[in-house]
Amino acid sequence: MPSSSSTPACLRWIGDVGGRLELLDQTLLPSRHEWIGCPDVESVVEAIKSLRVRGAPAIGIAGAYGLAVAAAEAGRRGLEPGLAREHLHARAAELDSARPTAVNLRWAVRRTVAAVERLPADAPTTALEAAVLTEARAIHAEDRELCAAIGRHGARALAEALAAAPGAGVLTHCNTGALATGGDGTALAAITTAWDDGHRFDVFADETRPLFQGARLTAWELVQRGIPVTVLVDSAAGQLMRTGRVAACIVGADRITASGDVANKIGTYSLAVLAAAHGIPFFVAAPSSTFDLSIDGGDAIPIEQRAATEVTHPLGMQAAPDGVLAYNPAFDVTPAALIRGIVTEHGLIQPVDRERIADVLRATL
Amino acid sequence: MPSSSSTPACLRWIGDVGGRLELLDQTLLPSRHEWIGCPDVESVVEAIKSLRVRGAPAIGIAGAYGLAVAAAEAGRRGLEPGLAREHLHARAAELDSARPTAVNLRWAVRRTVAAVERLPADAPTTALEAAVLTEARAIHAEDRELCAAIGRHGARALAEALAAAPGAGVLTHCNTGALATGGDGTALAAITTAWDDGHRFDVFADETRPLFQGARLTAWELVQRGIPVTVLVDSAAGQLMRTGRVAACIVGADRITASGDVANKIGTYSLAVLAAAHGIPFFVAAPSSTFDLSIDGGDAIPIEQRAATEVTHPLGMQAAPDGVLAYNPAFDVTPAALIRGIVTEHGLIQPVDRERIADVLRATL
């Protein structure tokens, strides 16, 4: 019983070999919905740097398509194969460095370059073009599949929680949907899949200060899909839970340790503590590539502190006086003990402990 | 060891009988610090309605001084005593209705009118003028004393908590300072008094969405006093506590029930749950007039839902798409069990239970 009136996306390749990349300019949402063309690699790099495209999987896919833009450029200029390869390597380095900390970006660009390197030395430029686009499309398609699988497993977990608390809804934090991935997302895919499966429930979106990704992006995606959404300030989540309106919380993850501690958008930890205090199941949804087994516990995850102006100047407007300090960690760490289950493309990890995580990840290899 | 470089205030009476009222326009903070003159009662009513002056005690005092503005008007116009009394009654009714739910406003205006009614029938207009101003000044002075007493008792509670957690600071929510009262405030007075007593600690101010009273007003007051302040988004409080940087939380109250449940600005409950989860003492500071013994438990307190635009349009800028719903309760309820102590002008109520509350309030009568 799908109710989606429109499926949002954050990037698209128009045409075939020699075609072009378009990105949804997320900095303009929710007021304006504008696709920007990326005629050259410079424009792709600029879009990544200025967060027109964001979300680790989406940035990776944009990087791979960015290389397809470079290949099309080589074709248009009539570069002979040797020069075309040089051109691709130079462009790959530029794309790589657009956001130095984005692991997915480097991974996707390198994988696309490797596809070119597998071609015979005398392959014509058109073959290079085709190989790059094929690889970029494969990366995109695989991410779409990951999202679909996470959506299916997550929807089952949510359906169970919803059945246990009739009349209550699902609360999410930040944006983990089509605007952050190549498919329908992770945590948000679980929500939209449950909805498309015919479950009807309130969807609550924390606004997610400081950058309002919940209000700006998650709410926008749900409106696009025709799913009613209720936005709240982050600090109202406790009152919402206290009044019995939350059956489950589900959020994404930036990094998950071997023991199941989760680094995610600031505010996730507060939400998990509140959920535990109210006996509400708290789920994390992320592809298995999010696990970092080199780290055992969450205290070893470095927490990035971001600019004070994100706090003092919401949406660019001054909200705090000059001369104040700001505490602005981008992420926080939620200990495994507060997490009911972690949804991956391979299924639900529950309970969340070192052994179950190792089992699931071994199955992946 | 006072370090205050400047003591903020939100209203002042300039001159004596026949003088004038000035209000700090809080809607312009923190960008601009402008006193507005109130030449007539209309301008006082407008200032209350449009939140240029806010905070229950401050609104009450503004109402009493508003009547002094009306009396000065009667004097300037040379109204004979009978007409002057009629004029005052009419103006009192206008002031009363500026914010119908503000209990303090009605109380303060009626008390000032009663002072006029105690005068002999043949008292001249100048005597009416003097009586009104004297009563308004008394209301203002009494509130200043209440704040000072709450500040002293609260500072002792904070000092104890700070001693128990060396290196950690104090976290507050919303604005409960000089901008909300006729003196130094309630919860914020506890912080500034502890600081003036020579204690040195980090002061953390939640920004307090949706209206940013923490970032806009509390941070501004602390900057004025020369006390370093660190602002954070509300959802970062959990991470701040988890990293051991909070020795105590202290907040104000809008209403306290007979059993000690506290209605206060949205976000207070989330903060109290987080504090409990981290073993951090959570204090409420409020004058004894905040207790509503007609209500036993917090679930009986009606929670006002405010306009969706406060959530969807922070500082007037669109942050959420058209077509979303918003959950925007102005207050939440924190159960007594989560509150370590309630600071009143009579001292600290600890533990927070029906018996201790009744004892303290009996002493007041």
ipTM of the complex: 0.91
* Beta carbons of B61 and B183 less than 8 angstroms apart: no
Mean local confidence (pLDDT), A116-135: 96
Quote the CA–CA distance of B44 and B22 in Å, as a whole number. Answer: 9
The pLDDT value given to residue B365: 54
CA distance B157 to B92: 40
| Residue B206 half-sphere exposure toward CB, CA atoms < 13 A | 32
Q: Is the pLDDT of residue B182 over 90?
A: yes
- Token pair 């312009």 is found at B28
Cα dihedral B245, B247, B251, B256 in deg (nearest 10): 140
> Whose CA is closest to A306, among A322, A324, A326, A321?
A326
Average pLDDT rounded to a whole number, residues B297-305? 87
Element (H, E) at A223: helix A219-225
Residue A260 has pLDDT above 70, yes or no: yes
Out of B212, B238, B273, closest to residue A332 by CB:
B238
**Is residue A193 predicted with pLDDT exceeding 50?**
yes
Helix or strand holding residue A203 (H, E): strand A203-206
Q: Is the pLDDT of residue A1 over 60?
A: no
Q: What is the pTM of this model?
A: 0.92
Residue A254 among the catalytic residues: yes
Q: Is the pLDDT of residue A102 over 70?
A: no
Check the CA dihedral A148-A149-A153-A156 and report its sign.
positive
- Of the pLDDT bands very low, low, confident and very high (cuts 50, 70, 90), residue B3 is very low
Among A219, A321, A326, select the one facing B320 at the smallest CB separation. A219
Q: CA triplet B249, B250, B251: central angle to 5 degrees?
A: 125
For A227, phi then psi, to 5°, come to: -100, 120
Q: How many CA atoms lie within 13 A of B50 on its CB side?
A: 13
Q: What pLDDT, on a 0 to 100 scale, did the predictor assign at position A4?
A: 44
- Please list every residue in chain A whose beta carbon sits closer than 8 Å to the beta carbon of residue B177: none
Question: How far is A180 from A188, CA to CA, in rounded Å?
Answer: 10
Which residue is listed with tokens 């994404």?
A252
- B227 phi and psi, to 5 degrees? -100, 120
The alpha carbon of residue B362 and the mean position of all alpha carbons in its chain are separated, in whole angstroms, by 24
Please give the angle made by the CA atoms of B235, A10 and A220, to the nearest 5 degrees: 50
CB-CB under 8 Å, A231 with B311: yes
- Which site among A170, A225, A270, A338 would you substitute to test the B interface, given the most B Cβ atoms closer than 10 Å to its Cβ? A270
Please list every residue in chain B whose beta carbon sits closer than 8 Å to the beta carbon of residue A31: 318
- The answer for residues whose C-beta is within 8 angstroms of residue B134's C-beta and 6 or more apart is B115
Sorting pLDDT into bands at 50, 70 and 90, what band is B2?
Answer: very low
Instruction: Look at residue A17 and tell me whether its pLDDT is greater than 90.
Output: yes
pLDDT bracket for residue B48 (50, 70, 90): very high
Q: What is the pLDDT of residue B1?
A: 36
3-state helix, strand, coil in chain A (%, to 5): 45, 15, 35
